C-alpha cells in the first residue's frame, strides 16, 4: 500500500512535469476523517469525471488527498467541495452530513 502510494506520487510528479507550461497546479487537502482503505477508494473515485482534475491520490497514513488539477477549470475550493460531497471533511470544511450517513459502516 505504501509502495503504491509512492508510485502514485512518482506518476503524479511525471504528469505535473509533462504538463509544464499549461495551467497545471496541485494541492494537498487534509482529510482528517479518512480512516480505512475504503475511504481511500471512495475519495479517489469521487474525482472520476470531475472536469479539470488530472489525478487524485488519497494517502491513508497522512490523511491527505493530493490532487493535480488545471486551475483554469477548477479551484481548490471546488476540489474541497468534491470531498465534502463524498462525505468527508476537507481542510476546514465539514463533511456533508447526508453523504456521511451514506458511507459504509467501516468509514465512520
In whole angstroms, how close is the CB of 102 to Cu ion at the nearest point? 12
Report in angstroms how near the CB of residue 106 gets to Cu ion at its nearest. 5
All three cell numbers of 45: 473515485
Contact positions with Cu ion (CB under 5 A) in 23-52: 36, 38-39
Q: Which is nearer to Cu ion, 63 or 78 (CB)?
A: 63
The secondary structure of 35-82 as a DSSP string is -SHHHHHHHHHHTTT-TTEEEEEEETTTTEEEEEEETTT--HHHHHHH
Q: Which CB atom, from 34 or from 74, has the smaller least distance to Cu ion?
A: 34
Q: How far apart are CA 48 and CA 93, in angstroms?
A: 21
Min dist CB 107 to Cu ion, Å, is 3
C-alpha grid cell, residue 15: 504528469
Chain residues binding Cu ion by CB under 5 A are 36, 38-39, 107
Amino acid at each position: 500500500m505504501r509502495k503504491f502510494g509512492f508510485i502514485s506520487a512518482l506518476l503524479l510528479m511525471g504528469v505535473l512535469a509533462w504538463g509544464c507550461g499549461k495551467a497545471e497546479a496541485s494541492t494537498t487537502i487534509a482529510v482528517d476523517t479518512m480512516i480505512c482503505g475504503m475511504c481511500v477508494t471512495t475519495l479517489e473515485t469521487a474525482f472520476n469525471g470531475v472536469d479539470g482534475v488530472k489525478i487524485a491520490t488519497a494517502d491513508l497514513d497522512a490523511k491527505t488527498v493530493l490532487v493535480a488539477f488545471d486551475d483554469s477549470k477548477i479551484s481548490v475550493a471546488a476540489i474541497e467541495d468534491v470531498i465534502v460531497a463524498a462525505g468527508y471533511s476537507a481542510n476546514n470544511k465539514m463533511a456533508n452530513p447526508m453523504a456521511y450517513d451514506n458511507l459504509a459502516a467501516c468509514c465512520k
